[in-house]
Amino acid sequence: IMYMNELSLARFHRLLGNSSLAEYYDVQARARLAAMNEWLWDAGDAMWADWNLLSGTRTPRFYPSNLFPLWAGAYDPAAFNAS
């Protein structure tokens, strides 16, 4: 959700003519996307996983939330197709 909010805020500020804030939110969205792919993507299972705060690891089970990056468009299609 935060990724989508950052993209929305970037578009909003671009429409208002505030290019510095638009760029700020674009950078934040790109950083979040990179972090999601680094920490949550499991190439072996070809899915995003939930993060277990207690163990500091990915949760190895499937939950509907594993599909959220697809719904949000929070992935790089080129990298996704390579998997």
pLDDT of the residue at 65: 87
Task: Please report, for residues 39, 42, 50, 58, 74, the alpha-carbon distance to residue 66 in angstroms, rounded to integers and kept in the order given.
Answer: 13, 11, 7, 11, 12
Q: What is the full DSSP assignment across 54-83?
A: TTTEE--S--GGGGHHHHHT-S-HHHHHH-
Say if residue 83's pLDDT is above 60: no
- For the segment 57-78, what is each residue's pLDDT rounded down to a tens digit? 998 888 898 888 888 888 877 7
What does the pLDDT average to over 17-38? 95
pLDDT of the residue at 81: 63
Total residue count of the chain as it appears in this document: 83
Residue 14's CB is within 10 A of a number of other CB atoms, namely 15
Task: Please report, for residues 15, 27, 36, 40, the alpha-carbon distance to residue 12 in angstroms, rounded to integers and kept in the order given.
Answer: 5, 15, 23, 28
Say if residue 30's pLDDT is above 70: yes
